[in-house]
Structure 1
Amino acid sequence: MSKNVVVRKAYVLSLRDGALKEYVHWHQNIWPELLQKIKEEGIAEVSLYEAAPLIFLYSEIRDPDSWKRLWESEIHKRWGEEIMSPMMEYDADGLVISQELNEIWHLEN
């Protein structure tokens, strides 16, 4: 982990059936302005892994509130509404079905 990174965060997200191909496409073609906002908010690294219909997101961030600020930004809201909305599973409150994971072990040599 980079010396400037202070927090590791991981999440599991639920995709709708059959949405994986489109989800991968959009993340391979992510909007440049969203990439810039990710950088500005201190999100140093993000990796996505799939076990359809689940997406595992691992990140290294510089500030504990980095993700919150990104999710509240206009560009991320637009990305969510225009691109991600048809692919994600939502709960009764209209929130993406997701779970933040708690780290139980880490090794860094």
Structure 2
Amino acid sequence: MERVGFRLKLRKEKLDEYVLHHQNVWPEMLEALSETGWHNYSLFLDRSDATLIGYFETPDLQKALDGMAAKDVNERWQAFMAEYFESLEGRRPDEGFLKLENVFYLK
């Protein structure tokens, strides 16, 4: 299982809305994530600088990304969420994250 950590930057003025939306993720989006191999998915927010750190496990990162890219619900969710992020440079949030280097793991 591949462990994936990533970072994105949120707009400070939109943090509360972003958190609220993630307390109510659409059921069909949750189902799509599970179906395409996203497991143990967590998001962590540093409100001091609006940094979002994500973590998930997947058997195959590229397959998980491609699987979600093919889902209509993902297209709608990414368009809905795009306004909450900085520095996407025309990419969707799921395309614009910076993958972090895994330097330690304790099993």
Q: Per the shorter chain, which TM-score range? A: 0.7 to 0.9
Task: Tell me the CA shift for residue 45 of structure 1.
Answer: 1.2
Identity of aligned residues (%): 29
Name the Cα RMSD after superposition: 1.5
Specify the alignment match of 2:68 in structure 1: 70
Residue of 87, 92, 96 corresponding to 1:90? 87
Specify the alignment match of 1:12 in structure 2: 7
Larger radius of gyration: 1
Q: Secondary structure at the match of 2:13?
A: coil
Matched positions, count: 101
More helix by share: 2
The runs of at least 4 consecutive aligned structure 1 residues that moved more than 4 Å come to none
Q: Cα gap change, 1:73/1:90 in structure 2, threshold over 3 Å: closer, same or farther?
A: farther
1:1-109 mapped onto 2 (5 Å cutoff): 6-52=1-47, 53-64=50-61, 65-82=63-80, 84-92=81-89, 94-95=90-91, 96=93, 97-108=96-107
Unaligned 5+ residue runs, structure 1? 1-5
Unaligned 5+ residue runs, structure 2? none
TM-score, scaled relative to structure 1:
0.83
